[in-house]
């Protein structure tokens, strides 16, 4: 277990979830010998969304002239040479952006325009919560619309089948920025108490000012947490979980030494996946 402030956390390995996999039963099986009353059971949004088939094949998306402009000029020039340094991006990320693929990227930007709008499409990644990392071929994962319903269901199943009273949270790696108790994020539909605003504008403000940034909770079921505590739980889960086949689509392709859209489901199944993190307050540890 990893030490993280007031909590102890452990990442729980499961199989890689493909569309239509029974992720709830997998979670129950994986945590059955570990979970205890009072634990937080956190689950990756992307893993859940993939299992539910909430994915889109970007090859089927027809890019507009605006999407092509964003992919070719905004992504290859504005981000690596202007916004990248302002936002203190890693040099590795800036190098990736300089070689942003205009054709595949235009399909991605069109989907972002349709799903998230203009300010989301101007993000350099995770536009509107759309994510292509750890997803096969030219598929991308779309953010959940019913996260609260899903955490309620999972908590009830854990209580019924394992007899444990826990708090369940779905969390996302996209960052929430905090300034004197005001929490905001570029991504849509965060937990109540976190403000979703501005797309790329929120990202640039948060990164350029080096505000405190942590993973984003989307829904919580089982106990009343303050917004600050929920964000802290998401932070611990994110740091404990790991990145699967890679943090970004470029890292994922590099892991398997293939092109961006040539990663297969079989390749992804060969990598250890830990979509679940159990977090336990130290005062709940047995002595």
Angle, alpha carbons 122-124-129 (nearest 5°)? 85
Whole-prediction pTM: 0.92
**pLDDT tens for residues 127-137?**
999 999 899 99
Residue-by-residue DSSP string for the chain? -EEETTEEEEEEEEPPPPTT--HHHHHHHHHTTT--TT-EEEEEHHHHHHHTT-EEEGGG----HHHHHIIIIIIIIIIIIIIHHHTT--HHHHHHHHT--HHHHHHHHHHHHHHT-HHHHTSSSSGGG-B-TT--TTEEEPPPS-HHHHHHHHHHHHHHHH----EEEEEEEEEEEEETTEEEESSSS--TTSEE--THHHHHHHHHTT-EEEEEEEEEESS---HHHHHHHHHHHHHHH--TT-SSHHHHHHHHTS-TT---HHHHHTS-EEEEEEEEEGGGS--
Q: Where are the domains of the chain?
A: 56-141
Q: List the pLDDT tens digit at each of the 287 positions of the chain.
A: 443 467 899 999 999 999 999 999 999 999 999 999 999 999 999 999 999 999 999 999 999 999 999 999 999 999 999 999 999 999 999 999 999 999 999 999 999 999 999 999 999 999 999 999 899 999 999 999 999 999 999 999 999 999 999 999 999 999 999 999 999 999 999 999 999 999 999 999 999 999 999 999 999 999 989 999 999 999 999 999 988 888 888 889 999 999 988 999 999 999 999 999 999 987 765 53
CA distances from 262 to 141, 203, 244 (A): 16, 30, 17
* Cα 286 from Cα 186, distance rounded (Å): 40
Q: Among all chains, which residue has been given the structure tokens 């019924």? A: 160
Structure token pair of residue 31 = 């945590």
- Of 31, 276, 7, 12, the closest CA to residue 157 belongs to 31
CA torsion 46→215→133→32, rounded to 10°?
-50
């Amino acid at each position: 277990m990893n030490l993280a402030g007031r909590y102890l956390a452990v990442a729980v390995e499961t199989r890689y979830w493909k569309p239509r996999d029974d992720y709830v039963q997998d979670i129950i099986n994986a945590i059955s010998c570990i979970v205890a009353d009072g634990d937080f059971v956190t689950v990756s949004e992307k893993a859940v969304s993939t299992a539910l088939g909430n994915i889109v094949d970007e090859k089927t998306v027809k890019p507009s002239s605006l999407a092509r402009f964003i992919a070719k000029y905004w992504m290859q020039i504005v981000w690596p040479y202007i916004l990248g340094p302002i936002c203190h991006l890693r040099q590795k990320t800036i190098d990736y952006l300089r070689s942003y693929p205009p054709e595949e990227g235009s399909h991605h930007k069109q989907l972002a325009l349709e799903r998230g709008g203009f300010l989301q499409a101007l993000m350099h990644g995770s536009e509107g919560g759309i994510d292509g990392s750890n997803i096969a071929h030219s598929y991308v994962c779309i953010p959940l619309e019913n996260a609260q319903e899903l955490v309620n269901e999972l908590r009830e199943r854990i209580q019924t089948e394992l007899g444990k009273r826990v708090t369940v949270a779905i969390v996302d790696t996209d960052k929430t920025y905090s300034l004197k108790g005001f929490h905001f994020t570029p991504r849509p539909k965060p937990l109540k108490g976190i403000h979703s605003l501005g797309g790329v504008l929120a990202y640039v403000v948060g990164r350029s000012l080096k505000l405190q940034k942590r993973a984003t909770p989307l829904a919580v079921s089982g106990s009343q947490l303050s917004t600050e505590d929920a964000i802290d739980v998401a932070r611990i889960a994110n740091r404990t979980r790991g990145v699967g086949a890679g943090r970004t689509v470029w890292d994922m392709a590099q892991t398997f030494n293939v092109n961006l859209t040539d990663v297969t489901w079989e390749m992804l199944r060969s990598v250890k996946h830990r979509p679940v993190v159990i977090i336990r307050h130290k005062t709940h540890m047995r002595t």
